[in-house]
Chains A and B, each alone.
Chain A
């Protein structure tokens, strides 16, 4: 897929063979987990360019997920902001309502080739859990999803969706009972079920090869965007914007453009109640490098190296880490990382509903809040592409509560 070039010549050539993006990434896992990681890597290297495997992914992406997703010119929003032309990459129109299925599809087709008969996954907002449960129903594999007890309460509709799809949702009460603990618990399940289980990680984090593998599955977003914008505008966009939880939808949009120096790239982290309150999920803006969940990356942590809990109104951005490739791109200065507060995201959410008739998820509402800040400062012939990575049906209860309405 990627040409093998030394990492210094291109922003697109990482990771190296041991999974490092500069000092970030790697395989920081217990020996109990190592044989599993090595087995996944071997299968991934074997199949990543396999014609039959890629044809399989393409078939389901087209016929089941509904790809390609449209690149849509948001005319009314553009007029409303009176600046740069705004396009939405509409991955919220995918089956299951977010970009997450691009990844679960790629991983389950790999798991099948590895003859694994049982799937596990972690989830925060439940979008990845639903996407995993969906492909497990499709391919008739039993699925167990680990979900923090706190998240189970605030994402009840997704929990029920997973159950309808035949998945067992296991509440996680350890630690802070949120996404990071769900990931710990999934890893514990995995080491106890070495023989038959495949772990579908939901974002571009975790031990090598997950960050690379997830990026490759999500890069379909950026590759389609490139073709579509060339077709509509006959040139590359000036700015790309996407929200960042673990960083998978954003790296998917960004990666095919990393070596285009004319394209400015902005990742938007969840600023929660504001970075200075400490109540946020902005690992790059408010964290330091550390080691968690199998990789070195920026983490929210205290001075003693204990992981701090993240906070965001958006459950999908509520993770104290970020994929290692983002940490590297941040230190390289290739991507600019900014943050947006709960309040700003809520306002953007409402603007989008009323100007475009699209109810966005709270996650891309963060990206949109940044677009709303920068579009008016740009000229009318400039182009912004924003990743509309999820739809907001799952969030209407949270938004109602935040706006003080009772349903």
Chain B
């Protein structure tokens, strides 16, 4: 180190002689923390969505065909529910910052209800998928082999009743029940899906003797990679919703007990909007395109 004294020009901060008091940014630590957490959440979803994008571009047909079996109306309603809950959450934050206790309580409560409603609708969707079977079976012993695809209507010890479609198993080759979709069976063959076009064929009811079932699979995540993505993405999102319900409930209880926590409400609000934001992207990616 030399002894040169500089009285002019640029002095690097680390050598600047005077303490710099305060660091300029008014953001409270909690907010920095929650935004950092959200940044890492972004990366989490990016990884799963990235895998979705890749798998989808690798098997576009499959994704397009199977996406048709998802319920657009239910998901649309769910989107609205979540957007609405986001609105009430924002209002709750605003109210608690202004010290309006009653409005805070009401808004938080509605948010909580919306979250529960969202999960309820999600549960309906899931159960409908778990009741959706693809079955390769004969109608009767020695009869022709069919592929059935539809929702389980009734089940007893000897037979299953399915509401949906069926098509004969082709003479040559074999069928992979993981890949075949409702759309294929409805059209009676495997042809490229004209995306978005669900033809108007009416459903029928079939009774299948259990003894004649060769293969049976439900529309669970193991059905194929589309459903793997669908269940993983929506499942993880649902876990985030559940994770958000607890703090919202606590905030609500505290507000009822007379303690408004404007900072905490704001942080929970940020998280909640993020959950909403994720759904805003999941909805078109899974259901619409």
Partners in one complex: no
- Which B residues are within 8 Å of any A CB, using their own CB? none
The interface of chain A, by Cβ under 8 A from chain B, is none
